[in-house]
Structure 1
Amino acid sequence: MNDENPFPHDLLQLQERLHRAHAEHRAYLDGLPWSVEPMKGWVRGERFSHRGDVPHSPGWSDEQKETVDGMWAEIRELSIAVVDHRHWKSVPVDTLVKTRRELKRQARPAEVAEAA
């Protein structure tokens, strides 16, 4: 920690890992079928759809479900580690939200920031 950067190095690393875990989760979900369970699709007009026709969804495989569950578990663990970090005890309550936003901004990896 220094005057330019008020955050401990390990907290910055945790927040960066959290940003990356969220980005990897979103990217993985983008490659999956739109429905977790098999579901019949529909054409525009049968049901409301801002996307137009919606194809049938084969659902997710057990492996895909396990992967998503594992990703969520990692995101939860990292979130808890960031929120419970000892650094937050030294931050005045009236600046806590602003300081947490600054941590997120400083720790955002370049490729995650570009994708957002």
Structure 2
Amino acid sequence: MADSFPNDPIDVQMRLHQARAEYAAPCRTLPWSVEPVAGWPGEVHPHTGVVTGGRDASPGYTPEQAAEEKRLSITERLEKQRTVLAWLQYQVAQTRQTIQRLEAEEKEQERRRAVARREMS
């Protein structure tokens, strides 16, 4: 079996992190709602007077913001699927190696049994 994780899946994982970062950065600057939505007031705590919850109104995304968010979202999802595929390919390769090793062990075990039977007769 391979002793270390292959470079290709690691490279794919790095591309996924890059795509995620490229998606998350502009998303932090977007309005909280895709569509324009009125805000709502928060609730005042009866003992402390601290206001919790509530939201300011959201103007919604501009067409440019919506297009960029969609493009980056697709890129991120694509990289995620590539990462999953690379991991599964690695796992399949590891499983094939394990099967080959076990088949060789089984064959050797059968050979030894046959030798032992011949020696006993």
TM-score (norm 2): 0.60
Bigger relative contact order, structure 1 or 2, given CA contacts below 8 A and separation 6+?
1
Partner of 1:88: 91
CA deviations on 1:6-48 (whole Å, 9 max, x unpaired) are 2222211110110122223222211111111001111113xxx
Q: Partner letter of residue 70 of structure 1?
A: R
Partner of 2:58: 57
Cα gap change, 1:72/1:41 in structure 2, threshold over 3 Å: closer, same or farther? Answer: same
RMSD: 2.3
Q: Partner letter of residue 28 of structure 2?
A: D
User: Which protein has the larger Cα radius of gyration, Structure 1 or Structure 2?
Assistant: 2
% identical aligned pairs: 34
Give every structure 1 segment of 4 or more consecutive aligned residues whose post-TM-superposition deviation is greater than 4 Å.
Answer: none
Q: Partner letter of residue 94 of structure 2?
A: V
Q: Which blocks of at least 5 consecutive residues in structure 2 are unaligned?
A: 44-50, 96-121
Number of residue pairs matched by the alignment: 86
Question: What SS does the aligned partner of 2:60 have?
Answer: coil
Q: Which blocks of at least 5 consecutive residues in structure 1 are unaligned?
A: 93-116
Greater helix share, structure number: 2
CA deviations on 1:78-102 (whole Å, 9 max, x unpaired) are 122122223231234xxxxxxxxxx
